[in-house]
Amino acid sequence: MANIIDGKRISAEIKDEVKVKADELKAKGIEPCLAVVLVGEDPASQVYVRNKKKACEYCGIKSLSYELSADTTEDELLSLIDKLNADKSCNGILVQLPLPKHIDENKILLRILPEKDVDGFHPYNVGLLSIGKADLKACTPAGCIELIKRSGVDITGKRCVVVGRSNIVGKPVGMLLLAENGTVTTCHSKTKNIAEVCRQAEILVAAVGIPRFIKGDMVSQGATVIDVGVNRLENGKLCGDVDFEEVSPKAAYITPVPGGVGPMTIAMLMKNCITACRKQNNL
């Protein structure tokens, strides 16, 4: 039976490390600060924003909260981002997605200064990631790498398969595995013999957005399986992209859903905020 990778425990470790770094900055008279912008009243987004505020409070990071109505115009949002870009006391800007349909997400994300892009979504930071030079890495993919490494699994030389090629998880996690000297294959909806490709993986990352897509016969004995998916079933329960019951007897390490990758995203956001603050203060 697989060892369960405890995302709650590892994310708590990272937040404790961030707290120490935040205290060191405060001792130098620098207060790290994150601005979180929420447009509209999407319930899931409201929960995420609340959790981010709580994490900031725990880590000793000042949080600025902007909760705007759903009819906020694109120009009004751009104007707020310009204000935050110009504010030297604000180190990170996070605009909670999804945005209302009348606002162009790409335009908004491009407007955030790359050095304040704590989500790691700006094309400039994605470009740095692709050449192995990124300081601000996309939070969920960076969290996946931490889960693997802090479980004692060495990525170097391992055959890694990523299922999914989204800009948010699939592509960046592939680049991060490559940076850790993994040998990476990316699978997607057009991949032929996908089960066969997955069976070759020593490290398998599932980020495809299909409930229980990865079955037991798609995983090799002793693999490390990272499940990024969060899917809500008709009965209201959450499940991942991996069929946990089928896969866990074969895997050596596996992340559960919930409690695996999920908690890592906010922990890595806090880490990015400290990184941004240090860089902006030439530390």
- List the CATH number of the domain containing 58: 3.40.50.10860
pLDDT of residue 233: 87
- Angstrom CA distances, 42 to 70, 99, 100, 271, stand at 9, 9, 9, 26
Catalytic residue among 6, 116, 117, 119: 119
Query: Which range of residues forms the domain containing residue 43?
Result: 29-115
- With 0-12 CB in 10 A as exposed, 13-18 as middle and 19+ as buried, what is 205? buried
**And the tokens for 130?**
């692709």
Helix axes 139-150, 7-27, angle to 10 degrees: 110
Residues 143 and 61 in one domain: no
Q: How confident is the model at residue 44 (pLDDT cuts 50, 70, 90)?
A: confident
Closest CA to 7 of 281, 272, 271, 253: 253
- Single-letter amino acid code for the residue at 110: L
pLDDT of residue 122: 96
Tell whether 274 is covered by a domain. Answer: no
96 is a catalytic site residue: yes
Whether residue 93 is predicted with pLDDT greater than 90 in this model: the reply is yes
Tell whether 23 is covered by a domain. Answer: no
pTM of the model: 0.95
119 is a catalytic site residue: yes
Q: In 3-state terms, what secondary structure has residue 180? A: coil
Tell whether 74 is covered by a domain. Answer: yes
Task: Report the distance separating Cα 27 and Cα 122, nearest Å.
Answer: 31
Task: Report the distance separating Cα 7 and Cα 259, nearest Å.
Answer: 5
pLDDT of residue 200: 98
Q: How confident is the model at residue 133 (pLDDT cuts 50, 70, 90)?
A: very high
Residues 148 and 258 in one domain: yes
Tell whether 204 is covered by a domain. Answer: yes
Q: What share of the chain is helix, strand, coil (3-state, %, to 5)?
A: 45, 15, 40
pLDDT, average across residues 162-186? 97
Residues 68 and 178 in one domain: no
Tell whether 102 is covered by a domain. Answer: yes
Catalytic residue among 21, 52, 137, 271: 52
Tell whether 180 is covered by a domain. Answer: yes
Residues 227 and 178 in one domain: yes
Q: How confident is the model at residue 108 (pLDDT cuts 50, 70, 90)?
A: very high
Catalytic residue among 6, 21, 96, 117: 96
Share of the chain above pLDDT 90, in %: 95
Residue whose structure tokens are 């990015």: 272
Residues 159 and 254 in one domain: yes
Share of the chain above pLDDT 70, in %: 100
- The total domain count for the chain is 2
Tell whether 166 is covered by a domain. Answer: yes
What are 210-243's pLDDT values in tens digits? 999 999 999 999 999 999 999 988 898 999 999 9
Residues 222 and 181 in one domain: yes
Whether residue 244 is predicted with pLDDT greater than 90 in this model: the reply is yes
Q: In 3-state terms, what secondary structure has residue 184? A: strand
Residues 143 and 111 in one domain: no
- List the CATH number of the domain containing 246: 3.40.50.720
Contact 164, 188 (CB under 8 A): yes
Tell whether 33 is covered by a domain. Answer: yes
What are 50-82's pLDDT values in tens digits? 999 999 999 999 999 999 999 999 999 999 999
Residues 90 and 54 in one domain: yes
| Beta pairing, strands 159-163 & 92-95 | unpaired
Contact 226, 255 (CB under 8 A): yes
Task: Report the distance separating Cα 15 and Cα 60, nearest Å.
Answer: 10
| Strand (E) or helix (H) holding 196 | helix 194-199
CB 245: neighbour CB atoms within 10 A?
9
* C-alpha of 38 from chain center: 18
Mean pLDDT of the chain: 97
